[in-house]
Amino acid sequence: MNKVSLELKQGIKAHFINTDLYKTDLSCIIITTPLKRDTVTKNALIPFLLRRGTKKLPNLSEINKKMEDMYGASFNCGIDKMGDNVVLKFYIESINNDYALNNEDVLKMNLESLLDIVFDPVQNGNLLNEEFLSLEKENLKKVINRKIDDKDSYALEACISKMYGEEKFGLYKFGYIEDVDSITIEEISDYYNWLIQNSKIDIFISGNLKEDEVKELLNNNPNIKKLRPRTENYILNNEFTESKQIVENVTEISEKMDVTQGKLVMGLDIVSDMENLQVTSLVYNAILGDGANSMMFQNVREKAGLAYSARSTFVKQKLNIFIRCGIQIENYEKAVKIIKEQLENIKKGNFTEEDIQNSKTYLISSLKSVEEEQDTEIIYYIGQEISKMNMTIDEYIEKIEKVTKEQIVELANSVHLNTIYFLRS
Amino acid sequence: MQIIENDKIKEKLYIEKLSNGLTIMVLPKKTRKKYIVWSANFGSIDNKFYAPGEKILTVVPDGIAHYLEHKLFEQENGKNSLDVLCSLGVDANAYTTNDHTAYLYECTENFDEALEEFMNYVQNPYFTDENVEKERGIIEQEIMMYDDYPDWALYMNAMKSMYKDNEINIDVAGTKETIAKINKEKLYKIYNSFYTPENMLMVLSGDFVPEEIIEKLKTMITMKSNSDETKRVYNKEQEEIVQKYVEKEMNISIPTVLIAYKDNDLTSDKIKKDIAIDILGTIIFGKSSKLFEKLYEEGKIFSEPSVNYEFSKTFAHILIQLQTNYVEEVLEETKKYLDNLKRNGILEEDFERAKRRVYGDLVKDYNDVADIATGFVNDYFKGINSFDYFEEFNIINKEYVEKVLKELFVESKKVISVVKPIEK
């Protein structure tokens, strides 16, 4: 492993990933905070305000000229649900100093700019800049409304929100239209100040680094200096917040929209406390619907020819599996029947050692490529951080290898269909 | 073997042309990942040709290149090579574009085991009535999936409005009606006509010793060249566009706009033009530009428009895509801005800054083995070696960029395609 972590202050960590695999350096600040109905929209609004300017570069044009000067560094923000937390991600990717044409220290500019954007926005006393607020509220609304533009992810979100309601994991990460208008500058400023002083903060720097220099740069940075130590305020991903219950009656819903292809999502609960639950679930999911050898791909697509895309995804923090496929609307019954047969087949142990081996090989090879993708590696480590796990990729692989057929069958018998959602015309 | 060294990005490219006519390129990198792509210069635009030795023109149904891509994985032993490769833990895939079809895999382990299967399936098609029939439903669903993508409708509408006869206005996957006409005889015919060594390129990137892997590949290549050449026939395209404006309503939240400029000059230096258009993209629509700032402050756009020069040997055009609730105003403002820029010229500092950004983007293209290999494939079938971008970058100047602005961004060659929300 090539990662070194360092606690800058209580609740604030720096992680250095030293690698010469890339032509770029990637710095990333991640703020983790619990998902709540009353803050979810505010969380989503914050990146919109922060990207507008820093004290040193007080407007869009200045900030972006700076990025262009850094050989087209790209600044991006993202927001993701991770279990019952939301993570706000701020990235700058820039070319490594080795490729700069005039020996500039691009990494230093990268990191300082990112710290300024997140922790030193244009402010008026304790308040964020009010001029930006109304426009950015409108921009946030556009992003919230865009939910319907991608039918596939819309269907998944709709199924999740049916299963969880408008609480925690059921919340939409970009928030809700009806919340936006009433947010005042005082409210959002207070919330921002609270967020940066009370949340878990992780700073990742990946690239061809001189660790000591980067460490010193962080320690001397005025933005870091003004952050206080904090008791991290987030929900540990290993502690499941609701005890899962077996649902007696499967919820079956369909929603009408002007679509050519129907989108089917089936949400499953895993209700079990068996040992190695997450890893066994991962292998189970691979047999069911991850990859070309999976039952979904082989039966729904290859044998029945019902779908082009047929797969399942495992959400480890919530112990859910979501089966997803795009089908012709009149094939709904047929597809549901075939998928239910696959679930029964795994329960009965109707799969071979070869199926298990294929799934393990598939999972292990994707894990091995984690260290070869700069952003994927950071996401892997933040997942570990939030679970307070410190499993290396090799240890993870070892656990996968040990999963047995008996364990998979045991797990299969604790998988319960919760909701069938169908988007159709 | 030819070796080209690029000292800007500190990489070396090894090129070997085999005696049967196949070109192999290797760009070694010290990664754990290995990537191989084998590509045929045959895509959705290649729908008319004289097969080797034939005097009668063959016309194939739209979507056949893509159909072949799906079916090449079938093996005589009843197995599907995609499943076999997947069970070796390699990430295998294939894709079809307008001018080529590519088969590939990426892995951290089992490269050699997978290579056997890979070389075998690409070189040995096995089509039966049953296996061809079986795929029809799957591809129909793929087509329907695209039908729900607003960006795809936006793009195809722009192509149809820009080109009357050029084959770029054919949907890569075809339609339900055209793929109904595809059978095993037609698939064999296109395979035998186009999947020949001189018409293909193989690119590898990752942890390879170039000499060793090339020697190994030589022993595995059984493909022979045709005694006669396959002659492609393309329609002649008019200089004018078909229509200025096209729109479609879909169930989306905000209108998406594609501004396209048809470029009829297919002969002049493509790389130079491509770089110039990238620079112009930043100067005109980049987040630091006056136009972006104005439209953003007025709440008319909220993300940076994308600007691309898309070209092959038979077509070329600029594509600018953005989202806005104020379609007319944004188009009007953009036109005014362009007119001004044409009249007053580009500021030196804006040019230099945009150039730095373009340079950074060129460097970033060499981060990932997959991007590197597919980048070389893309460029090769356009008659370009990707490394040449760095050479052209060194000599590009403001005057040339201004010339491209004046010659290409012209009203008479402009098409607007809009996909907007359904009016309630």
Query: What local confidence, expressed as pLDDT, does residue B133 receive?
Result: 95
Does the CB of A131 have a partner CB in chain B at under 8 Å? Answer: no
Alpha-carbon distances of A400 from A78, A346, B300, rounded to whole Å: 30, 18, 50
Whether residues A89 and A34 fall in one domain: yes
Sequence-distant (≥ 6) Cβ neighbours of residue A72 within 8 angstroms: B282, B356, B357, B358, B359, B360, B361
Residue listed under structure tokens 């859910």:
A320
Low-confidence ranges of chain A (pLDDT < 50): 241
Using DSSP, state whether A219 is helix, strand or coil: helix
Sequence-distant (≥ 6) Cβ neighbours of residue B331 within 8 angstroms: B257, B259, B416
When CB atoms are compared, the residue of A135, A145, A305 closest to B299 is: A135
> Contact A172/A161 with Cβ under 8 angstroms?
yes
Whether residues A267 and A173 fall in one domain: no
DSSP state of A23: S
Q: Is the dihedral of CA A360, A362, A365, A371 positive or negative?
A: negative
Query: What local confidence, expressed as pLDDT, does residue A240 receive?
Result: 53
Terminal CA-CA length for chain A: 50
Sequence-distant (≥ 6) Cβ neighbours of residue B306 within 8 angstroms: B281, B319, B320, B321, B322
- Residue A212 corresponds to which amino acid? D
Q: How many other C-beta atoms are found inside a 10 Å radius of the C-beta of residue A55?
A: 10
- Residue A277 corresponds to which amino acid? L
pLDDT tens profile A363-416: 999 999 888 889 999 999 998 888 887 788 899 999 999 999 999 999 999 999
| Cα–Cα distance for residue pair B300/B123, rounded to 1 Å | 53
Minimum mean pLDDT among A209-213, B168-172, B397-401: which range? A209-213
Alpha-carbon Rg for chain A, nearest whole angstrom, is 23
Does the CB of B377 have a partner CB in chain A at under 8 Å? Answer: no
Residue listed under structure tokens 């304790």:
A126
CA dihedral B334, B337, B339, B344 (to 10 degrees): -160
* Residues of B labelled catalytic: 69
Sequence-distant (≥ 6) Cβ neighbours of residue A63 within 8 angstroms: A51, A52, A53, A54, A57, A75, A113, A117, B287
Q: Hey, what are A366's tokens? A: 């994707």
State mean pLDDT over B257-273: 94
State mean pLDDT over B373-379: 97
Q: Is A244 part of any domain?
A: no
Whether residues A42 and A83 fall in one domain: yes
Shortest distance, CA B285 to any CA of chain A (angstroms): 12
Q: How many other C-beta atoms are found inside a 10 Å radius of the C-beta of residue A242?
A: 11
Q: Name residues 314-343 of chain A within 8 A of B (Cβ).
A: 326-328
In the predicted structure, residue B157 carries a pLDDT above the cut 80: yes
Q: How many other C-beta atoms are found inside a 10 Å radius of the C-beta of residue B363?
A: 22
Residue listed under structure tokens 């994991």:
A169
Q: Which of B103, B97, B121, B89 is nearest to B202 (CA)?
A: B103
3-state secondary structure chain B: CEEEEECCCCEEEEEEECCCCCEEEEEECCCCCEEEEEEECCCCCCCEEECCCCCCCEECCCCHHHHHHHHCCECCCCCEHHHHHHHCCCEEEEEECCCCEEEEEEECCCHHHHHHHHHHHHHCCCCCHHHHHHHHHHHHHHHHHHHCCHHHHHHHHHHHHHCCCCHHHCCCCCCHHHHCCCCHHHHHHHHHHHCCHHHEEEEEEECCCHHHHHHHHHHHCCCCCCCCCCEECCCCCCCCCCCCEEEEEECCCCCEEEEEEECCCCCCCHHHHHHHHHHHHHHHHCCCCHHHHHHHHCCCCCCCCEEEEEECCCCEEEEEEEECCCHHHHHHHHHHHHHHHHHHCCCHHHHHHHHHHHHHHHHHCCCCHHHHHHHHHHHHCCCCCCCHHHHHHHHCCHHHHHHHHHHHCCHHHEEEEEEEECCC
Whether residues A63 and A159 fall in one domain: yes
Q: Is A8 part of any domain?
A: yes
Whether residues A187 and A336 fall in one domain: no
Q: Name residues 148-207 of chain A within 8 A of B (Cβ).
A: 148-149, 151
Whether residues A257 and A341 fall in one domain: yes
State the average pLDDT for chain B. Answer: 96
Q: Name residues 192-251 of chain B within 8 A of A (Cβ).
A: 250-251
Does the CB of B324 have a partner CB in chain A at under 8 Å? Answer: no
Q: Which of B37, B188, B39 is nearest to B101 (CA)?
A: B39
pLDDT tens profile A320-356: 999 999 999 999 999 999 999 999 999 999 999 999 9
Q: What is the CATH number of domain B2-232?
A: 3.30.830.10
Q: How many other C-beta atoms are found inside a 10 Å radius of the C-beta of residue A200?
A: 21
Q: Provide the domain limits for residue A275.
A: 251-424
Give the pLDDT band (50/70/90) at residue B346. Answer: very high
- Residue B357 corresponds to which amino acid? R
Best probe of the A interface among B363, B365, B368, by most A CBs < 10 A, is B363
| Cα–Cα distance for residue pair A311/A291, rounded to 1 Å | 7
| Cα–Cα distance for residue pair B363/A100, rounded to 1 Å | 10
> Contact B237/B159 with Cβ under 8 angstroms?
no
Whether residues A219 and A296 fall in one domain: no
- Residue A414 corresponds to which amino acid? S
Exposure class string for B258-274: b at 16+ Cβ within 10 A, else e: bbbbbbeeeeeebbbbb
Total number of domains in chain A = 2
Q: Which of A195, A203, A199 is nearest to A28 (CA)?
A: A203
In the predicted structure, residue B424 carries a pLDDT above the cut 80: no
Query: What local confidence, expressed as pLDDT, does residue A107 receive?
Result: 96
Give the pLDDT band (50/70/90) at residue B267. Answer: confident
pLDDT tens profile A8-36: 999 999 999 999 999 999 999 999 999 99
| Cα–Cα distance for residue pair B14/B209, rounded to 1 Å | 10
Q: Is A68 part of any domain?
A: yes
Shortest distance, CA B355 to any CA of chain A (angstroms): 8
Terminal CA-CA length for chain B: 64
Q: Is A238 part of any domain?
A: no
| Cα–Cα distance for residue pair A28/A111, rounded to 1 Å | 9
The reply to whether B2-232 and B245-421 are identical in fold is yes
| Cα–Cα distance for residue pair A233/B275, rounded to 1 Å | 48
Sequence-distant (≥ 6) Cβ neighbours of residue A283 within 8 angstroms: A356, A359, A360, A363, A400, A403, A408
> Contact B306/B318 with Cβ under 8 angstroms?
no
CA dihedral A228, A231, A232, A233 (to 10 degrees): -110
Using DSSP, state whether A209 is helix, strand or coil: coil
In the predicted structure, residue B36 carries a pLDDT above the cut 90: yes
Q: Is A57 part of any domain?
A: yes
Percent of chain B with pLDDT over 90: 97
User: In terms of CA atoms, which chain A residue is nearest residue B290?
Assistant: A61
Q: What is the CATH number of domain B245-421?
A: 3.30.830.10
Among A193, A226, A259, which residue terminates a domain? A226
Q: Is A241 part of any domain?
A: no
Whether residues A267 and A190 fall in one domain: no
Whether residues A15 and A122 fall in one domain: yes
Q: Is the dihedral of CA B43, B49, B50, B51 positive or negative?
A: positive
Shortest distance, CA A244 to any CA of chain B (angstroms): 34
CB contact under 8 A, A61 and B86: no
| Cα–Cα distance for residue pair B40/B51, rounded to 1 Å | 16
When CB atoms are compared, the residue of A65, A328, A364 closest to B288 is: A65
Q: Is A205 part of any domain?
A: yes
- What is the pTM (predicted TM-score) of this model? 0.94
CATH code of the domain in which A280 resides: 3.30.830.10
Does the CB of B133 have a partner CB in chain A at under 8 Å? Answer: no
Domain ranges of chain B: 2-232, 245-421
Whether residues A26 and A102 fall in one domain: yes
> Contact B67/B179 with Cβ under 8 angstroms?
yes
Q: How many other C-beta atoms are found inside a 10 Å radius of the C-beta of residue B44?
A: 24
Q: How far is CA A136 from the centre of its chain?
A: 23
Q: Name residues 330-359 of chain B within 8 A of A (Cβ).
A: 353-354, 356-359
Does the CB of A250 have a partner CB in chain B at under 8 Å? Answer: no
